Amino acid sequence: TPKRRKVTKANFFADEDVDEKDKETASEDEIHDEEYTPVSQKKGRPSRTGSVTIPRKRSIGKTDSSTPATKRKRRSSIKKVQTVEQDSTIFAAVLSGQAMQMTIDDWITHYNQNKVKGMIELIQFVVHCCGCKGIVTQEMLNESENIKSIQELTLKFDEDTHEYPIIMAGPKYKKLKASFSIHDHYNNNDIIYDDDVMVVVESWLISLADSQVRAFRHTSTFLGMHLGNGLITVITTVKRELEVSQHQLQNEKRKSSSKKGRDKIDTLTTKCDRLKENVSYLENLLKNIFTGVFVHRYRDINPQIRTLCIEQLGNWIRYYSSLFLNDNCMKYIGWTLNDKVSQVRIIAVKVLQELYSVASFSSQLTIFTKRFCVNVTKKKAKIRMMKDLIRFFIDTEVHELADYLVDSLWNSTELLKDWEIMTGMLLGQHLKEDEEPLDDEEEFRLIKIMCCAIRQASVGHGPPGRQMAKKGFTSSKEKKAQRSLKDTISTHFSIILPKLLAKFSAEREKIGFLVEIPQYMDLDIYSEMELQNPLEALLKQVEGILEKHADMEVLDICAKTLRCLLGEESNVKTAVEVTRHKIMDKITNEFKEIFGNSLEKEAITIGVEKVLSNCDGDTEINLLTYLKKIVVMYKEFNIKAWECIPYFEAIVEYGLKRSINDKIMCLAISGVQLNLAWEFSDEEAEGGQLKVGALSENFNRLIRICDELMQFSNPNVQKKAFCILCDTLMMVSKPLIESDPSTLLSYETDRSVQIRCRDFIMSCVFDADENFDLESRKDDVPDSDYEIFCEKRNLLAAFCKLIVYKIFDTELAAPVFANYLKRFKDFGDIIKYVMTKVRQSNLSSYTTTILLGLQQAFENVRHENSASPTSVIKDVEPLKELARRFSLMFGVESLKSQSTRQNLINLHRDGIKYALEKPDESATYQHLPFLVILNEFSCRLLDVDKCSKTAGVLPFLEELLPSELKLNMKNEEFYPLRIYFEGLKGEKTNVEEIADIENANKDDMADDGPEEEPQADEWLSKEKAVKQRKGQRKSKGRRSVRSSRRAAATKAN
């Protein structure tokens, strides 16, 4: 064949009619080579199709040294330009119903008379079969690669219709298509061996098969594949004749020398050589059609062309198995088994049925069976298992989060790592004709499972609460496996993700999971594999999602994905930066147009007041949408350059004076806070020397605004203002930045602000709507209630964070600690974490805080029950359990610490003082029942801490106890005091020992000099002496037991 033009992305994929998948490579014959490499294409073995012998081409109308002089004179006398009219001979004759053999004979006669004109008529017939009105000229035939010729013919198409003869209905067009299926007229025509005819026809069919016009591609493929059928018919006839001639030659050679006919042997030998040459010539023509037409069109975007290719290839393999029944040809049928169109898959299956029905083919189909049929069976099983898993996820009453379902099965099955199966099911690529696609709920559940599996594969561990077997240690083998999984995810989803986003872009719940996938990919894949088109497609989809959606969660994920993409290599970063600027330009321009697109502050204020005072429903929706998009982008990027903050500040000022939509106010105050956070970050990076004063003033102003909104706004705005206030204090509060002397900006929180935050938490989180009890209600919990519950946890966590980092005084956490047991199911984990951190940081503050919390809880009970102390005792049982829990947090080992023991003693002393108070100068001791609660800490005291005369709790109580209580302790109303006394006097075995130690110490001090007043912690050292004496007694006891045993053993021996 003539030299074919190099197929590139620019000239081959320009038409939208070409398969989108083929845009990844420069040539379709290279597709899937990595997936399936036949034996003949292994390294060092050239493929069968790659070694095609190209027949020589003779140029029409040009002088050839081998052409006789008469032919040269006849060709030189022909005109350079000849045209054929639309109703010309061949096409009109075929449409009129004339027999094809008669038409061919007429054309051969015409061709023998004038070859140039005959070739023009033949190519014109091909062009007319494509439905083109263009006229073929001699210059077109003389062109070496037919590129310009086809471009000229493309302009002659009728743009008003998309039909062409081989797809048109009607009797005459059916006859036209049927006439190409009759292959007998290929025989007995020597014209098929004419290089001038076959080479030119093949060249045009191959060039038309590369066209961007569907009619050219479909018609040339149709003609080329049927031409291949005709060539196979001729080859079969020639081979049959060759077998007869070879048989005759062998018989002739077996004859005796007297009967041999030398002339006949020479004639038969010459005939056999000629027939072999003809077979080789015809096979080369057939191979050229295979590589030039089939290989380029078996994956055309048009399913009719794909069906045609596979169907005719099946005929070629079946009727000429010696050339086509091999791995190199069978792989195309195997790949088509996964075609997205069911009709194409059905044709592929039918072709395989016909091939497997031939017994002699079975041995040659072994490799194909192992490679494709087994995989198809496995794929069906995987799809069925995945559907079962989806159905289990939907039907069973398990936890709604898919993370835990994925983690439970992660090491049990490889199905969760088969990305091709999951994406194929979502895109409908694995559907058979009798199967139903996934419904909406099944698609959503599959997307959740897939995205959770991607997250676990990328990060290397399960969701919260699922502890790894080896904490903090990952072996090199595990790291390698995790890296391999991440590479597989990146390679697969870099191509397929834009298609998933395009399909589900309008569905909020699904797109939120899918757009998060790039955050778990290795984004270097785009630069390493030069995947510029997939990257552009991904960015285009993200941009479209940001433009289309107004849901805060989806927008937030999109912004995070852009931020993740922006952190990669420079070429990826450049494309993402362009997209980000494009998004921001569009959002901010439309946002500013709502207020008149002013630049001066006064004009902005006037515009904002005008819009918000006359804000209708549509304007409010648009404003909310733009505010959401700007805020989510501000979370990830510093977009100060777009100058949106003056509008946000004007909205906040307006909201402080008048009533506006709560959501608008919350978004505006968020934008102001994010802007200050970026400014604070920039100032720290630059040394913070230039604008510290202005920045500090802005922070103080923001804190005042949040404090005001927290007191006087609507509940939703109050909650948002509280969260912003907490976040702002975390940035600039003095306790956090004292360790960094280079930071000039610091803020010491006012005590009144701390108290208001404490009161807000108590009223908002620990309100009358007590236990949410998520576990017991399970699936009956409405989404709104669950969101409120999560919101309360976030508010409590924000407040507790300030306690942990000492921004707020620890004592303010006392009412929170008091709710530890009461709201344990809802907030127990948060409160316990804070208590642990506070205890580790400052044990004294922790002890004071839990005592204060118990006292406040006791006061609440006392006010609820204003009767006598006796009746109050019944209501403090829950507080006794709370005190017991608090006491357990001191631990057993910690009691060995002098600091812990001292704080426990101080707790008892302060508790005793509180219990013996007489509030309001009343005659009764209303706080006396508190001793029942305090008694729960008695078991944590050592004996020496209870009874020591110098610093013990019991002597302190006896000293502080009024005489009237000592005399009337047995009265019923003083029952709490009696209980507390019994708790302190629970063990009396060490009293004498303590007295002896104290007397011995006094004697020693008397000998050394005058007696001094004991220090506060001096008595703690006496415990060592007590323990030492106990140890001596125990050792003596052990020695006596051992000696008695030894004596008994000696006696027995």
Cα angle at 263 between 262 and 267, to 5 degrees? Answer: 120
Q: Please give the pLDDT value at position 622.
A: 92
Count Cα neighbours of 1031 within 13 Å in the Cβ-side half-sphere: 6
Residue 280 in tokens = 């080789």
Q: Please give the pLDDT value at position 838.
A: 92
Q: Please give the pLDDT value at position 60.
A: 35
Segment 69-82 shows an average pLDDT of: 34
Integer Cα distance of 430 and 339 in angstroms: 8
Sign of dihedral through CA atoms 926, 928, 929, 931? positive
Q: Please give the pLDDT value at position 740.
A: 53
pLDDT band at 984 (very low <50, low <70, confident <90, very high): confident
Instruction: Give the residue with greater pLDDT, 190 vs 734.
Output: 190
pLDDT band at 786 (very low <50, low <70, confident <90, very high): confident
Residues 6+ apart with CB under 8 A from 423: 429, 450, 492, 493, 496, 500
529-544 burial by CB neighbour count: b if 16+ within 10 A, else e? Answer: eebeebbebbbebbbe
| Residue 504 predicted with pLDDT over 90 | yes
pLDDT band at 180 (very low <50, low <70, confident <90, very high): confident
Backbone angles phi, psi at 747, to 5 degrees: -140, 125
**Taking Cα atoms as reference points, which of 742, 752, 867 lies closest to residue 809?**
752
Backbone angles phi, psi at 733, to 5 degrees: -75, 150
Q: What is the CA radius of gyration of the chain?
A: 46
pLDDT tens digit sequence for 991-1045: 344 444 344 444 444 444 433 433 333 333 434 444 444 455 444 444 454 455 5
| CB distance 637 to 580 below 8 Å | yes
| CB distance 688 to 665 below 8 Å | no
Integer Cα distance of 626 and 635 in angstroms: 14
Highest mean pLDDT among 501-505, 733-737, 763-767, 945-949: 501-505
Instruction: Give the residue with greater pLDDT, 725 vs 871.
Output: 725
Sign of dihedral through CA atoms 123, 128, 130, 133? positive
pLDDT band at 195 (very low <50, low <70, confident <90, very high): confident
| CB distance 426 to 500 below 8 Å | yes
pLDDT tens digit sequence for 5-64: 333 323 323 333 444 344 333 333 333 333 333 333 333 333 333 333 334 333 333 333
| Residue 86 predicted with pLDDT over 50 | no
Mean pLDDT, all residues of the chain: 78
pLDDT tens digit sequence for 384-428: 899 999 988 888 766 567 888 888 888 888 899 999 999 999 988
Q: Which residue has the tokens 């208001």?
A: 756
State percent of the chain over pLDDT 70: 76
Segment 218-238 shows an average pLDDT of: 91
Q: Tally Cβ neighbours within 10 Å of residue 843.
A: 18
pLDDT tens digit sequence for 618-667: 889 999 999 999 999 999 999 988 989 999 999 999 999 888 999 999 99
Cα angle at 742 between 737 and 744, to 5 degrees? Answer: 70
Q: Please give the pLDDT value at position 814.
A: 93
Q: Which three-class secondary structure state does DSSP give residue 467?
A: coil
Residues 6+ apart with CB under 8 A from 545: 501, 505, 511, 515, 554, 558
Cα distances (angstroms) measured from residue 871 to each of 489, 927, 969, 974, 1022: 67, 13, 18, 12, 42
Count Cα neighbours of 812 within 13 Å in the Cβ-side half-sphere: 23
Residue 38 in tokens = 């036949």
DSSP letter, residue 568: S
**Taking Cα atoms as reference points, which of 131, 90, 92 lies closest to residue 219?**
131
Segment 312-341 shows an average pLDDT of: 90
Sign of dihedral through CA atoms 202, 207, 209, 214? negative
Integer Cα distance of 904 and 936 in angstroms: 12
Q: Please give the pLDDT value at position 496.
A: 92
Integer Cα distance of 399 and 410 in angstroms: 17
